[in-house]
Structure 1
Amino acid sequence: MSEAYYRKTPQQALEAQQASAGGLADQEARSRLEKYGPNKLSEGKKKSVLQIFLEQFKDLLVVILIVAALISAVSENVESTIVIFAVLILNAVLGTVQYLKAEKSLESLKAMSSPSAKVLRGGVRVEIPSADVVPGDIVLLEAGDMVVADGRVLENFSLKVNESSLTGESEGVDKMAEAITAEQVALGDQKNMVFSGSLVTYGRATVLVTATGMDTELGKIAALMNQTQQRKTPLQQSLDSFSAKLAIVIMAICAVVFALSIFRTGMGVLDSLMFAVALAVAAIPEALSSIVTIVLAMGTQKMARQNAIIKDLKAVESLGSVSVICSDKTGTLTQNKMTPQKLYADGSLLEGEELDLVNDVQRLLLKAALLASDATTNEETGTAIGDPTEVALVMLGDRLGIDEEAYRAQHPRLGELAFDSDRKLMSTLHDIDGVPTLFTKGAIDVLLDRSKWLLTREGKVEMTPQRKEEIARTNMELSMEGLRVLAFAYKELDTVRPLTLEDESEFTFIGLISMIDPPRPEAIQAVADAKRGGIRTIMITGDHKVTATAIARQLGIFQDGDEAVSGVELDEMTDADLDERLAKISVYARVSPEHKIRIVNAWQRRGNIVSMTGDGVNDAPALKKADIGVAMGITGTEVSKDAASMILADDNFATIVKAVVNGRSVYENIRNAIQFLLSGNTAGILCVLYASLMALPVPFQPVHLLFINLLTDSMPAIAIGMEPARRGLLDRKPRDPKAPILDRPLLSRIGGQGLLIAVATMVAFYLGYQGGDAMLASTMAFATLTLARLFHGFNCRGAESIFHLKFSSNKYSVLAFFAGVVLLLAVLFVPGLKGLFLVSPAFSLSRLGQVVLLAVLPTLIIQLVKLVAGGKHTKE
């Protein structure tokens, strides 16, 4: 940004405004929009649909399938070639559609969160979309507005801006319409500038836009954020490792089978190649990537209904591994609204509900609070405009049925000294019963030093050191409870006149009003649930350490023996010191964006999967660095939403815990689906290997195995992915991200169940091969393997027996079973399909009865084992 913008005098700026006839003309605005582009942050170069489609073929297993299709083509097996390529293209189309759907959803979310702006165009005040704001526009800001571009303050009426989205500081910043020197610019003084992403909390102003889009301070942070690399999720890593190992094993076994076919059975090269192709197709879980994608997509839909919007499908399963949640306090763990708590007046400490208007001191305290504030509330709509602290003061009057606007109309403001962060005071002048009275609110230490008297029910008494000490002690007690405290005083003037800073002295001290951003009730339970599930919750906030610790204790985050650390203390620690104390620190206060990244890094060094919440631009780098970045949907900035993996539509910590439960459930369902697919494929591999070793004809044609893997297998696998979350998911510790998805217990089940299905299949093969009819034997084996895998879908729904899980709890598994049976019967008995799938003409209804009996046997054995074991299988 040019230094000239900072140093331009108000007169020069106003002349520029006048020269533009009260703002840009429409034609000039359009030309500037073409020159500078829309006022939005760059989203980087988007991939074309073709790029996304081609990326679906990068997987090594897909390459092996393409090779298998080419071998089928060389072997003049046209049907298999067509089916394999059709399935690969279908899978790629599905992946492309899922990607584009996620992108479209994100665009809709951004459009919903895009604010509008009030500008002067040709001397007329108009409201336009923020994307149409250009440098040179005159923007009109009022309390409650979002600043949509960087700009120079031309006219200022007590403007106060919350820049927490950029700085992380929750305190508002006072702005001015004055020129500043080059030295002030060098020192970082920006009091005559407003920045995109900030929120106007008080006053109003006219602003000349100096930068938009990526040229803003917010845009610079967005550009830095793009340099941060995202980490692969545990499931990505596990599936990548599994795919690579499986590909090597498949290639080795195929080579062995190819050699055996030539040298042991005397097959020709092409026939041997077909045998190897059959094995490759049997071994490769073609539908695995699609099934995982579909299960994750269904998980995201369920989470969206619970206010957790997932941007990246792969992030769903990572939620199940989360062991640390670093959460912002305001709005996530708390309600994001200051509410009045205890009051101190006339030597008594009382609850806000106990305020007695009969008591002269308490009545004057409320009068000072309402008159020395500008916030307004609407009880009907539940909305409020103004500084959160002042909103809390107005709420105090609401509780007693006092309308702040009517009250202020009775005592109009005759003068004002706006709040200044240096003197920490705000004063307003009013006529109270014919006496010009100055009401002042501010920091307790400042007002105590300037107070000469103390108001009591007997009247004014001298402010002695002992009385000061008592008030200071009360303030400390309130602060230790996590309360923010404001002090109030008044001073009677001789006449109504312009106010000066010298008037803020020799006050009569009235009392104190404390307030708090209260914890969300559901957050307290959510923190307890997370702890039960082995998840550590860490509070990271810009608030003072004492206040943050008190809130954390109420939430159950801070326990006896825990530590709270400020940003300054964190700077003094080496990485080794932080690693040593990390497990004990539950609260980080007054932290910077760099601190947040450092905290996330420290937990990741310990091998933890870390979730980080945030809403500001300053949170974006840490959100992207975390394994699961969580942005706020209501208060979050566009940059934070871009950086995050998940967006909370309700800004509620409890939603994160619900998402973790769903993430664990999704991972369980994916494991069960993988068990189903691989155990069925194992059966196919064992059958082909057995036939090769025993010099038998090929038990399956490639088209048979593709039909099983991609049609009759896909539906039960998807149904398994829709299994509802089981009770007790939060009674387990988070899954070790380093643990392979195919651990020893799961591999044992895959091998054992695959062997059972293979035995039943080969028995069917021999029954059909009794007369030497290889085609009938192949048909019997194909039908038995298909039906046995359809029955096997019920076995893989969970560790418990189907009698415990109940058929009714997942109706999709029943529908998938019957749909698979209908498809199988169509292939076996519909004339056109019989030829395509090489079904023997000798296959009859009596043969079908043999197939049904053999196919159901593995499932009966597996269910009996589950009943005996009581469903106590090790799942992790």
Structure 2
Amino acid sequence: MTQDYFRKTAAEALRAQNTSEQGLSAQEAAQRLQTYGKNKLSEGKKKSIVRIFAEQFRDLMVCILMIAAIISACSGNVESTIVIFVVLILNAVLGTVQYVKAEKSLESLKTMASPTAKVLRDGARVEIDSALVVPGDIVLLEAGDMVTADGRILENFSLKVNESSLTGESEGVDKQTDVIDAEQVALGDQKNMVFSGSLVTYGRASVLVTATGMHTELGKIAALMNQTQQRKTPLQESLDAFSAKLAIGILIICAGVFALSVFRTGMGILDSLMFAVALAVAAIPEALSSIVTIVLAMGTQKMARQNAIIKDLKAVESLGSVSVICSDKTGTLTQNKMTPQTLYADGQVIAKEQLELSNPVQRMLLKAALLASDATHDEDTGDSIGDPTEVALVMLGEQFGVIEEVYREQHPRLSELAFDSDRKRMSTLHDIDGVPTMFTKGAIDSLLNRSTHVLTSKGCVALTPQLREQIIRINTQMSEQGLRVLAFAYRELDADRPLELEDECSFTFLGLISMIDPPRPEAIQAVADAKRGGIKTVMITGDHKITATAIARQLGIFADGDIAVSGVELEQMTDAELDRQLPHISVYARVSPEHKIRIVHAWQRRGSIVSMTGDGVNDAPALKQADIGVAMGITGTEVSKDAASMILTDDNFATIVKAVVNGRSVYENIRNAIRFLLSGNTAGIFCVLYASLLALPVPFQPVHLLFINLLTDSLPAIAIGMEPARRGLLNRAPRDPKQPILNRALLCNIGWQGLLIAVVTMAAFYLGYQQHDAALASTMAFSTLTLARLFHGFNCRGEASIFRLKFSTNPYSNLAFAAGALLLLAVLFVPGLKQLFLVSPQFGISQLGIITALAVVPTLIIQTIKLIAEKR
């Protein structure tokens, strides 16, 4: 059948399912569906923007500010009322814009990790984005692929599909192939259909696409992704709970301050209310939640630029606590560039350059290598499609002028048994000189145990114990050199018929081909860095234990005293035995998916935060179980990407270590931003309480504190969140995830640093209040508090002194200080703003010098203490 016929058939199917109008082509129908989908998404986005804007006014802080505005209006201060409402609306607009930008940012990250599809276009196999698949395309499915569109099976090679997204059943569904004709498609026969959102767990097939866009399961998947993004992270939930408790406590204190002001000092009700509202505005860290979100979002963007796509924000928090990395070997710790090294055939070990096609055994070994593979390689462009091991076999043939496509056309594949991780082998059936011949490749233990003969230059001979021992010895020698070894065998069948699993026996052994996948140079350094940071790296691989151990030694994972365990040995261990030996096991070889989950469970029982890497279908359960599931972006299957919380676009172990460092840095930056915000708010609380207890005029108007908290404080806090990762982050042990972010040490720092700022602020207040000028006193206190908090931003960049951190390493901090200072100067000296912010007419240049001198004092004291600590 031609591609045009398939497209015509697909169009008939679309019309039969009422998904397109009469007379539309498949492409036009697809365009209608895509346009419809975009319109629906656009409508949803508009509604969400309105909801987001409205939700900005549901916050407790906003309610308090509205009360402050009403009180200001009642007291005749119209300007202050206008400023508060303008700032509230501006804050809501900015919050909405920030949310939309974050959504677009996450959407771009989703696009980077979006599924792809292999399709036939113009007779050629190409890989395209799943969004470009249209009805009438022929999609090629393999184990590990996500089905990206509804379609009807044309060719089926033992296809098994997990349709749990549709049916809820986790068991795979065996698919069958029926004769395809237009009448059958039009009737909507579904017994040989695959559906969007399903996962191919076994075999392969070619599928005619019959539906795309909003009429497939992709819409449901997108909805699920949106729901996932809207969840708050544990850190955000913790901070929200803290803010709520703080707000309740502050409201109780405000009520006490109000009562004290009215009954003890004889202050008027409106003035007392202003005192209480000023205290509430000063105390509640209204910018805290948004600052944390911004820092996390910036962290994910930075990681994306460094080839680590974070699918879930809470993964950023967990990364800083990772203490164990269970990593796959191929492509992650190694270069994933398999190159043949040596061959064993006819009782000889030869280098790849010594291969002679005139030797019948060597020629038969190469024939098996090319025919029992699916990879293709374009010599002109250098592009390869397929498993790296199979690509290496194809390139071996090209070195001797044997082109895989030509060879496969001469001996077309009649039937096959696809590779399976449990069987550890793959078989294909071909016509070789009129004889149906099955070629099989796989692990040596899988083939050698099923072989009865060996092909030699003298013909087929029985596989004696001596020959078996020789083959095993050669395999061991190759493996000890860090080489990956594939075994090949064949069997002649009595007739051309579909292959069955029972046929994989009575093989004639052909030989071995060894390959090397050299370690990544950067992975060796990354393993060392991880070890320095208290993180244990564990290699989990499907390779032979000897091969895996040799590579692990080169990488620095396996050291003297460490243990390597095979899957068989792991099965024989009880949980108690595994727990006892777990810290010493650095390599797991020949493991199954169940083994990987058990390994992750064992580490989690010890209280470790585990990162697990994987790229195959069978890795998905372990990726879900791990605290940080890491999928490979290049070689990874769509199943593994869907299960993971982080995707590596370069499949590089070093990227994981970079992400861990960034995770630690993000957490440190959030702690420092919290210290900055809460210490500044604590200073405001001390000042208002002091003035209330001593019956002094209110030191700050609500509009003053609003200006500080929402404008001048936000800029330094964001700048602190952009502090670069320091080398010292890997010189400490992983963070205990159970440790609260607001621990005793941090609270003590917040308290005494806030007290320092409060002392200089009230000193400025008294200097302005010498002539009983309450307006000048308030202006002096407001200016000093603002400037002192701007200086304090430099203190909160890290634990080290500013001289060690250096001003040049974080230019955003300098810009934030400059912007905050300019805003303060504008408020103090621009005529219109002076009235809005109730600035005293008596405030001038001399007062500016006084408040500058006072404001810098807390920073000088804090920096001096840090310098003394560094010298000690």
**Could you say which TM-score interval applies, normalised by the shorter chain?**
0.7 to 0.9
Aligned-partner residue type, residue 681 of structure 2:
N
1:40-69 CA-to-partner distances (Å, cap 9, x unmatched) read 9x99x9882233344455655555545545
Residue aligned with 1:866, SS: helix
Distance 1:262 1:562 in 2: 75
- Per the alignment, do residues 193 and 865 of structure 1 end up closer, same or farther by CA in structure 2, a change over 3 Å counting? same
Residue aligned with 1:800, SS: coil
On the 8 A contact 2:356/2:362 being kept in 1, the answer is yes
Match of 1:5 in 2: none
Match of 1:344 in 2: 344
Cα deviation, residue 332, structure 1: 3.8
1:46-103 CA-to-partner distances (Å, cap 9, x unmatched) read 8822333444556555555455455545555444444444444444444433433343
Residues 154-233 of structure 1: pairs in structure 2 closer than 5 A = 154-155=154-155, 159=157, 177=177, 207=207, 233=233
1:232-288 CA-to-partner distances (Å, cap 9, x unmatched) read 645224413421332233123222321221222110222111111111111122222
Match of 1:262 in 2: 262
Residues 534-553 of structure 1: pairs in structure 2 closer than 5 A = 534-538=534-538
Aligned-partner residue type, residue 839 of structure 2:
V
Residue aligned with 1:343, SS: strand
- Per the alignment, do residues 93 and 426 of structure 1 end up closer, same or farther by CA in structure 2, a change over 3 Å counting? same
Match of 2:721 in 1: 721
- Per the alignment, do residues 107 and 791 of structure 1 end up closer, same or farther by CA in structure 2, a change over 3 Å counting? closer
Match of 1:836 in 2: 836
Task: Note if 1:483 corresponds to 2:484.
Answer: yes
1:415-455 CA-to-partner distances (Å, cap 9, x unmatched) read 76644369964465567xxx999794545565786665653
Aligned-partner residue type, residue 664 of structure 1:
R
Distance 2:709 2:295 in 1: 17
Cα deviation, residue 792, structure 1: 1.9
Distance 1:446 1:598 in 2: 28
1:199-258 CA-to-partner distances (Å, cap 9, x unmatched) read 89999x654669989999999999999999999645224413421332233123222321
Distance 2:802 2:86 in 1: 35
Cα deviation, residue 658, structure 1: 0.9
Task: Note if 1:801 corresponds to 2:801.
Answer: yes
Aligned-partner residue type, residue 296 of structure 1:
L
Distance 2:365 2:540 in 1: 34
Residue aligned with 1:821, SS: helix
Task: Note if 1:25 corresponds to 2:23.
Answer: no
Distance 1:228 1:128 in 2: 26
Distance 1:606 1:81 in 2: 57
On the 8 A contact 1:762/1:781 being kept in 2, the answer is yes
1:325-354 CA-to-partner distances (Å, cap 9, x unmatched) read 444555444545654344213434355466
Distance 1:239 1:557 in 2: 38
- Per the alignment, do residues 595 and 486 of structure 1 end up closer, same or farther by CA in structure 2, a change over 3 Å counting? closer
Distance 1:388 1:852 in 2: 65
- Per the alignment, do residues 673 and 26 of structure 1 end up closer, same or farther by CA in structure 2, a change over 3 Å counting? same
- Per the alignment, do residues 492 and 697 of structure 1 end up closer, same or farther by CA in structure 2, a change over 3 Å counting? closer
On the 8 A contact 2:615/2:635 being kept in 1, the answer is yes
Aligned-partner residue type, residue 526 of structure 1:
A
Distance 1:588 1:215 in 2: 44
Match of 1:455 in 2: 456
Distance 2:688 2:261 in 1: 11
On the 8 A contact 1:69/1:84 being kept in 2, the answer is yes
Cα deviation, residue 701, structure 1: 1.0
- Per the alignment, do residues 716 and 516 of structure 1 end up closer, same or farther by CA in structure 2, a change over 3 Å counting? same
Residue aligned with 1:349, SS: strand
Distance 2:644 2:463 in 1: 54
Residues 684-723 of structure 1: pairs in structure 2 closer than 5 A = 684-723=684-723
Task: Note if 1:653 corresponds to 2:653.
Answer: yes
Distance 1:639 1:768 in 2: 68
Aligned-partner residue type, residue 691 of structure 1:
A
Moved more, 850-859 or 344-353: 344-353
Residue aligned with 2:727, SS: coil
- Per the alignment, do residues 812 and 537 of structure 1 end up closer, same or farther by CA in structure 2, a change over 3 Å counting? same
> What is the TM-score of this pair, normalised by structure 2?
0.78
Task: Note if 1:273 corresponds to 2:260.
Answer: no
Aligned-partner residue type, residue 455 of structure 1:
T
Task: Note if 1:303 corresponds to 2:303.
Answer: yes
On the 8 A contact 1:117/1:148 being kept in 2, the answer is no
Match of 2:825 in 1: 825
On the 8 A contact 2:146/2:638 being kept in 1, the answer is no
Match of 2:24 in 1: none
- Per the alignment, do residues 558 and 453 of structure 1 end up closer, same or farther by CA in structure 2, a change over 3 Å counting? closer
1:446-469 CA-to-partner distances (Å, cap 9, x unmatched) read 57866656535x898775442233
Cα deviation, residue 577, structure 1: 7.8
The alignment yields a C-alpha RMSD, in angstroms, of 5.3
Task: Note if 1:860 corresponds to 2:847.
Answer: no
Match of 1:4 in 2: none
- Per the alignment, do residues 508 and 265 of structure 1 end up closer, same or farther by CA in structure 2, a change over 3 Å counting? closer
Q: Tell me which of 394, 413, 419 is aligned to 2:410.
A: 413
Residues 667-816 of structure 1: pairs in structure 2 closer than 5 A = 667-816=667-816
Residues 310-389 of structure 1: pairs in structure 2 closer than 5 A = 310-329=310-329, 331-336=331-336, 338-350=338-350, 352=352, 362=362, 365-366=365-366, 369-370=369-370, 375-386=375-386, 388-389=388-389
On the 8 A contact 1:827/1:833 being kept in 2, the answer is yes
Could you tell me which runs of 5 or more consecutive residues in structure 2 were left unpaired when the two chains were aligned.
Answer: 22-28, 166-172, 180-189
Moved more, 46-55 or 852-861: 46-55
Residue aligned with 2:18, SS: helix
Distance 2:223 2:827 in 1: 56
Distance 1:712 1:277 in 2: 20
1:587-620 CA-to-partner distances (Å, cap 9, x unmatched) read 486544x876676566555544444445567766
Distance 1:620 1:50 in 2: 38
Cα deviation, residue 661, structure 1: 0.9
Distance 2:396 2:347 in 1: 20
Residue aligned with 1:700, SS: coil
Distance 1:547 1:90 in 2: 63
- Per the alignment, do residues 640 and 240 of structure 1 end up closer, same or farther by CA in structure 2, a change over 3 Å counting? farther
Aligned-partner residue type, residue 267 of structure 2:
M
On the 8 A contact 1:68/1:277 being kept in 2, the answer is yes
1:752-787 CA-to-partner distances (Å, cap 9, x unmatched) read 222222221212111111111111111111122222
- Per the alignment, do residues 142 and 553 of structure 1 end up closer, same or farther by CA in structure 2, a change over 3 Å counting? same
Task: Note if 1:248 corresponds to 2:220.
Answer: no
On the 8 A contact 1:372/1:441 being kept in 2, the answer is yes
Aligned-partner residue type, residue 322 of structure 2:
V
Distance 2:14 2:585 in 1: 58
Give % identity: 68
Aligned-partner residue type, residue 25 of structure 1:
E
Task: Note if 1:525 corresponds to 2:530.
Answer: no
Distance 2:689 2:707 in 1: 20
Aligned-partner residue type, residue 485 of structure 1:
L
On the 8 A contact 1:117/1:127 being kept in 2, the answer is yes
- Per the alignment, do residues 21 and 200 of structure 1 end up closer, same or farther by CA in structure 2, a change over 3 Å counting? farther
Distance 2:338 2:631 in 1: 22
Cα deviation, residue 568, structure 1: 11
- Per the alignment, do residues 357 and 831 of structure 1 end up closer, same or farther by CA in structure 2, a change over 3 Å counting? same
On the 8 A contact 2:475/2:485 being kept in 1, the answer is no
Match of 2:395 in 1: 395
Moved more, 325-334 or 504-513: 504-513
On the 8 A contact 2:13/2:210 being kept in 1, the answer is no
On the 8 A contact 2:294/2:718 being kept in 1, the answer is yes
1:488-517 CA-to-partner distances (Å, cap 9, x unmatched) read 569999xxx989999999997553113466
> What is the TM-score of this pair, normalised by structure 1?
0.78
Distance 2:571 2:247 in 1: 48
Cα deviation, residue 846, structure 1: 1.7
Cα deviation, residue 697, structure 1: 1.0
Distance 1:18 1:864 in 2: 81
Aligned-partner residue type, residue 384 of structure 2:
A
Distance 1:598 1:200 in 2: 21
